[in-house]
Amino acid sequence: MLKSKESEKPKVIEHLYQKFRAGEIADGVVRSDLVQDAIRVTGAELGGANPANFLKDIVRSINANSIWPDALKRDRFTARQRYGDKRVLQFVGYSAEQEEPFPDHFAPDEKTPSHFVASAPMSFVARRLGRKEESWLTQIVVNLRIVESQLSIYSPLRSRLRDVTHLQTGMKTQPEIDAVFLASFGATPSLKSRTDVHMLISCEAKQINQRILEDQIREQVAKAMHITKRIQTPEIDAVKPMAITVKKINFGGEAENTVFVVEFDHLTRGDFEAKWQPESESDERLYSMPLEAVSQTLYRIVPPVSGLNA
């Protein structure tokens, strides 16, 4: 019987890290064949059929910092997921101000507003059939127009918002983008060249007890910039990332699962291409791209929806 992934993966990570320290992984990028070999050498009771997701279960967990091997903590090393060309993960040193391997920079606080949303637009049967999965959370967000509410009510750009259109759920890119919207705005100070401004909204969904992964969101922005570059009518001027997760919050002494939405500042195409667009696989500039939260809200869904708060 397989042991839990949380108990088995740290020894594989530490084995790979020691190979990195010994100079056997010069750029810190670990590919799938090395992961499979490390599982075999360490005797870890893990399946090796899908090494691309090896790091995923750790970095998205709220227990990520306790799971991470002590040797890497002492040396101030963490890791990020990498995508494509059989890449799995990359060992990276802490930033100057970093104190733990996986800091959580985006969480609700006492200033975070809450907002009731009626679930009646979803049928009663649909509300009874929900599951605790990212795809179901995304379906709730789309059906109840939560992204539209965030941009219309809480976004700094709300006075310029013209319309929001849901384009796709589950865009199969690397990394996958859980939901994609197109929003149009009036002119903004950073985009003065035309009256209408079109932004692609990339949404990352996480279930309860899962962390918002900053590097994953950066990779999604880069992918969104790439796939919209050829579009001319209308031209996509910017990408605005959003993160959506489930948070258990106490309201009046009772715990309730809410949909927590974080809106990040948009990244203009001009700035992205000049400052953060990677020019090669070894180019690390994308990971220095700032992610500034400009609004965040806790959405209370009533009546309850199975898989979320029922």
Tokens of 228: 């919209």
Q: Are 18 and 82 in contact (CB under 8 A)?
A: no
Q: Give dist(CA 175, CA 173) in Å, integer.
A: 5
Asked if residue 268 and residue 185 are part of one domain, the reply reads yes
- pLDDT computed for residue 309 by the predictor: 82
Domain-located, residue 150: yes
Q: Which residue has the tokens 């997701």?
A: 53
Same domain, 147 and 89: no
**Rounded CA gap, 226 and 259, in Å?**
29
Domain-located, residue 294 = yes
* 263 found inside a domain: yes
Last residue of a domain, one of 93, 128, 155: 93
CB–CB of 217/225 below 8 Å? no
Q: Which residues contact 215 (CB under 8 A, 6 or more apart)?
A: 80, 81, 287
Of all residues in the chain, the percent with pLDDT exceeding 70 is 95
- pLDDT tens, position by position, 11-68: 999 999 999 999 999 899 999 999 999 999 999 988 877 888 899 888 888 899 999 9
The answer to whether residue 130 is domain-embedded is: yes
Residue 107 lies in a domain: no
> Which is nearest to 299 in space by CA: 153, 182, 106, 184?
153
**Is 136 part of a structural domain of the chain?**
yes
Pairwise CA distance, residues 171 & 226, whole Å: 14
Q: Where do runs of H (alpha helix) occur along the chain? A: 5-21, 32-42, 56-59, 64-67, 70-74, 124-128, 134-143, 146-149, 214-228, 269-271
- Between CA 223 and CA 62 the distance in angstroms is 26
- Quick check: is 51 in a domain? yes
Report pLDDT for 47.
81
The Cα 76–Cα 74 span in angstroms is 5
pTM to 2 decimal places: 0.88
Tell whether 41 and 126 lie within a shared domain. Answer: no
What pLDDT shows up at residue 1?
Answer: 36
- 83 domain-assigned: yes
Same domain, 73 and 156: no
| Same-domain pairing of 169 and 85 | no
Check residue 2 and give its pLDDT.
39
Domain count, the chain: 2
Q: What would the pLDDT profile of 209-228 be if each residue is shown by its tens digit?
A: 888 999 999 999 999 999 99
pLDDT value of position 193: 53
Residue 56: domain span? 5-93
Whether residues 157 and 194 share a domain: the answer is yes
Specify whether 38 is located in the same domain as 72: yes
pLDDT, residue 84, reads 83
Same domain, 158 and 261: yes
CA distance 308 to 298: 13
Radius of gyration of the chain (CA): 20
Q: Which residues of 153-188 are buried (b: 16+ CB within 10 A; e: fewer)?
A: ebbebeeebeebebeebebebebebbbbbbbbbeeb
Q: Residues 151, 296: one domain?
A: yes
Q: Which residues of the chain have pLDDT under 50?
A: 1-2
The CA dihedral of 114, 118, 124, 126, to the nearest 10 degrees, is: -60
Q: Which residue type sits at 78?
A: T
